[in-house]
């Protein structure tokens, strides 16, 4: 039998007359904590009106007073064990709320201000010859897509093959040192990756060079370790029994990897790649150094500067021209498009992992 | 197709650890040979050394000779991949390929080896293999469904069908029934009795009744203590092992006085 002998619907007056045979305390009705928080809100409102009104202080007062009130009331009526449970519940929910504040506020603000220029022109026009209102980010959007595509083309083969080496072939010191270096690469600041790519291309083409492919190389430095790590984890999850089953059929190791291991892990691999793309698509610093910015369309990553969404937003914000409002609106819309791209990639990743997962249904 | 296996002075190592020591035996073609013994005594290790599967584990190696119809398995010019094509294996846990349908699982041995086979030949092979594994009637209407949707016993028979589809000469079975219920076990045992008409079968089992029921010859493995290598204690016709074994240790083990 449970320690709470009474359903929560019963009123407090009946509970007082029936002592719990196990020596425990009665359970609070479910509305009690809400009532406590309501009272705390009224109290906080009073404090706020007496001193100076401030929405942030009001929320903080409400949460603190409500938590304390719930704890004290529960300790008196339900006993210390239940009281600690309620206290921790309040703390966890508060922490969740605090964590959500920046996210919600950011999305709200970006959508509100980005909606201003979220129109057809933004997606069809470049900034060539634009002074003042109008103009768009077509060139930056295409630049971001081209450079991200190139980055993916460079990183996925290298990252996947590294992961396959680590899981299927590597052993001993070489494997350990590669794992260590991949971990180090994961922590490289993005600006360093940009400087690396810049230095590399300056050696070949001379100082002042700006190319789309440079940006792709810089982003690859950031993307490869992410892919290696995620692919390694996914490949490790493929049961060894499947490899052995293939070996026992007389299938060579390389065909086993190609035809059994990778198809089994394809959902996880594709998800990892998609999330790695989402990770690099919003990088600004390396592109600032390596690709620069331009107002005109440039589809050729091997010839001159290209615009990209993050760098575009950065320049629209820091060098808006006169009057500044038009450029700042464009920066917000660019930020909105970028967030939508990342969210879209995350949705794609979820769809992939659902569609490609091995089927077990009858 | 069935072939004879002669093993002489076989030592098996994992790195510096000697797992199995001094095995000498001959396995007759078209028969079932059972290997019994307590856990960790090297039965599975020995079985895996018969088709060079133990080499998958880093550091594993053997000394001694395994000869199949005059061909030395461990000769310097022998490719382990070729060995495994001749000597199939069925594992303890059923392990159909989860990304493939029932049909593709059976066809996997040929498909994965990129053997060009016409559609009708492949259909015939799949049907023959599934019939050979007594699974055809249960799955013939759902060949394109995933193999992992079958029951455990059906999955194990699917794995047997997959193994016999490549037409090996020897079939090694590593505790094939330990994850199965008695009815599925019976189905697999019946299947083994049929398969021994064509194949040489070696089976590792912890179930002594099973060894007594299906095998012609039984080998008893044991080890003297923890950290010691496993040895082949006795290798005799099954009838003799279970009624009047030569060695005291065999009798103790079979009558349940230890282990």
Return the bridge partners of B89, or none: B172
Q: Which of A52, A87, A116 is the last residue of a domain?
A: A116
Q: Is A247 found in the same domain as A231? A: yes
Radius of gyration (Cα) for chain B, nearest Å?
18
Residue A55 belongs to a domain: yes
Range of the domain at A41: 12-116
Is residue A153 packed enough to be buried (19+ CB in 10 Å), middle (13-18) or exposed (0-12)? exposed
Q: Is A348 found in the same domain as A225? A: yes
Is residue B202 packed enough to be buried (19+ CB in 10 Å), middle (13-18) or exposed (0-12)? buried
Q: Is A306 found in the same domain as A263? A: yes
Residue A7 belongs to a domain: no
| pLDDT, tens only, B161-179 | 999 888 888 899 998 888 7
Nearest-CA distance from A171 to chain B in Å? 9
Residue A4 belongs to a domain: no
Give the pLDDT of residue A85. Answer: 92
Give the pLDDT of residue A8. Answer: 43
Q: Is A310 found in the same domain as A292? A: yes
E strand or H helix at B26? strand B17-27
Q: Which residues of A touch B (CB under 8 A)?
A: 171, 239, 241-252, 255-256, 259-260, 263-264, 266, 358-362
CATH code at position A292: 1.10.3720.10
Split into its structural domains, chain A has a count of: 2
For residues B136 and B128, give the distance between their C-alpha atoms in angstroms, rounded to a whole number: 8
Mean pLDDT of successive 10-residue segments in chain A (362 residues)?
A: 42 46 66 87 86 84 90 89 92 94 93 89 85 85 94 95 93 91 92 94 89 93 95 93 90 90 90 91 91 88 89 90 86 93 90 75 40
- C-beta separation of B13 from B60 below 8 A: yes
Q: Is A254 found in the same domain as A108? A: no
- C-beta separation of A185 from A221 below 8 A: yes
Going by pLDDT thresholds of 50, 70 and 90, the confidence category of residue B229 is: confident
Q: Which of A94, A116, A138 is the last residue of a domain?
A: A116
Give the pLDDT of residue A16. Answer: 44
Q: Has domain B5-95+170-254 been given CATH number 3.10.290.10?
A: no
Nearest-CA distance from A359 to chain B in Å? 6
Give the pLDDT of residue B102. Answer: 92
For residues A217 and A225, give the distance between their C-alpha atoms in angstroms, rounded to a whole number: 13
- C-beta separation of B133 from B191 below 8 A: yes
Q: What is the ipTM of this complex?
A: 0.87
Give the pLDDT of residue B92. Answer: 87
Return the bridge partners of B35, or none: B204, B219
**What is the residue extent of each domain of chain B?**
5-95+170-254
Q: Which of A64, A90, A116 is the last residue of a domain?
A: A116
Section B25-53 average pLDDT = 88
Residue A150 belongs to a domain: yes
- If you average pLDDT over each of A161-165, B60-64, B190-194, B230-234, which comes out highest? A161-165
| pLDDT, tens only, B93-121 | 888 998 889 999 999 888 888 777 788 88
Q: Is A44 found in the same domain as A150? A: no
Going by C-beta distance under 8 Å and a sequence separation of 6 or more, which residues neighbour residue A189? A285
Q: Which residues of B touch A (CB under 8 A)?
A: 51, 53, 56, 58, 81-86, 88-89, 91, 93, 95-99, 108-109, 111-114, 145-146, 148-149, 159, 162-163, 166
Q: Is A182 found in the same domain as A97? A: no
Section B56-74 average pLDDT = 86
Nearest-CA distance from A202 to chain B in Å? 45
Q: Is A156 found in the same domain as A181? A: yes
Give the pLDDT of residue A337. Answer: 94
Q: Is A344 found in the same domain as A226? A: yes
Residue A290 belongs to a domain: yes
| pLDDT, tens only, B121-143 | 889 989 988 988 888 888 889 88
Look at residues A80, A91, A62 and name the one whose alpha carbon lies nearest to residue A24: A80
Contacts of A256 in chain B (CB under 8 A): 112
Contacts of B146 in chain A (CB under 8 A): 358-361
């Amino acid at each position: 039998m449970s320690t709470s002998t009474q359903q929560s619907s019963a009123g407090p007056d009946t509970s007082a007359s029936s002592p719990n045979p196990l020596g425990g305390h009665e359970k609070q009705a479910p509305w009690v904590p809400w009532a406590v928080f309501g009272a705390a809100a009224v109290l906080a409102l009073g404090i706020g009106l007496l001193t100076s009104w401030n929405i942030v202080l009001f929320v903080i007062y409400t949460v603190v007073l409500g938590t304390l009130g719930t704890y004290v009331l529960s300790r008196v009526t339900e006993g210390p064990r239940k009281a600690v449970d309620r206290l921790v519940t309040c703390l966890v929910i508060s922490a969740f709320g605090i964590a959500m504040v920046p996210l919600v506020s950011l999305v709200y603000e970006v959508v509100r201000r980005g909606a201003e220029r979220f129109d057809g022109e933004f997606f069809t026009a470049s900034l060539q010859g634009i002074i003042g209102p109008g103009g768009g980010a077509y060139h930056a959007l295409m630049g971001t897509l081209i450079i991200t595509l190139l980055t993916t083309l460079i990183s996925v083969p290298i990252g996947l093959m590294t992961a396959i080496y680590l899981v299927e072939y590597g052993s001993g010191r070489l494997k350990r040192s590669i794992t260590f270096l991949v971990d180090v690469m994961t922590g490289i600041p993005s600006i360093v990756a940009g400087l690396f790519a810049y230095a590399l291309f300056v050696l070949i083409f001379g100082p002042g060079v700006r190319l789309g492919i440079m940006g792709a190389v810089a982003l690859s430095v950031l993307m490869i370790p992410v892919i290696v790590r995620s692919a390694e984890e996914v490949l490790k999850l493929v049961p060894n029994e499947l490899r052995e089953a293939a070996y026992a059929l007389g299938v060579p190791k390389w065909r086993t990897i190609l035809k059994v291991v990778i198809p089994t892990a394809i959902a996880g691999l594709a998800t990892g790649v998609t999330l790695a793309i989402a990770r690099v698509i919003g990088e600004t610093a390396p592109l600032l150094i390596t690709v620069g910015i331009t107002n005109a369309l440039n589809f050729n990553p091997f010839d001159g500067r290209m615009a990209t969404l993050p760098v575009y937003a950065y320049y629209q914000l820091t060098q808006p021209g006169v009057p500044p409002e038009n450029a700042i609106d464009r920066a917000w819309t660019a930020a909105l498009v970028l967030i939508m791209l990342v969210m879209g990639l995350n949705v794609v990743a979820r769809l992939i992992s659902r569609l490609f997962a091995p089927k077990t249904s009858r | 197709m069935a072939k004879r296996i002669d093993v002489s002075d076989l030592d098996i190592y994992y790195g510096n650890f000697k797992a199995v020591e001094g095995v000498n035996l001959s396995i007759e073609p078209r028969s079932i040979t059972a290997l019994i013994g307590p856990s960790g005594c090297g039965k599975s290790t020995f079985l895996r050394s018969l088709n060079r599967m133990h080499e998958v584990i880093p550091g594993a190696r053997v000394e001694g000779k395994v000869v199949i119809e005059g061909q030395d398995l461990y000769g310097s010019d022998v490719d382990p991949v070729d060995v495994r094509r001749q000597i199939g294996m069925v594992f303890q846990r059923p392990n159909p390929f989860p990304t493939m349908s029932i049909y593709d699982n059976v066809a996997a041995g040929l498909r994965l080896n990129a053997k060009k086979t016409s559609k009708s030949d492949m259909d015939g092979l799949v049907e023959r293999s599934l019939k050979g594994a007594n699974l055809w009637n249960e799955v013939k209407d759902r060949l394109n469904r995933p193999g992992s949707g079958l029951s455990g016993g059906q999955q194990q028979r699917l794995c047997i069908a997959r193994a016999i589809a490549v037409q090996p000469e020897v079939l090694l079975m590593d505790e094939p029934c330990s994850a199965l219920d008695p009815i599925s076990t019976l189905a697999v045992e019946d299947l083994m009795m049929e398969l021994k008409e064509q194949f040489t079968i070696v089976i590792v089992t912890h179930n002594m009744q099973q060894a007594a029921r299906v095998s012609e010859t039984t080998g008893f493995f044991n080890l003297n203590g923890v950290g010691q290598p496993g040895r082949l204690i006795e290798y005799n016709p099954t009838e003799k092992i279970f009624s009047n074994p030569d060695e005291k240790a065999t009798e103790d083990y079979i009558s349940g006085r230890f282990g």
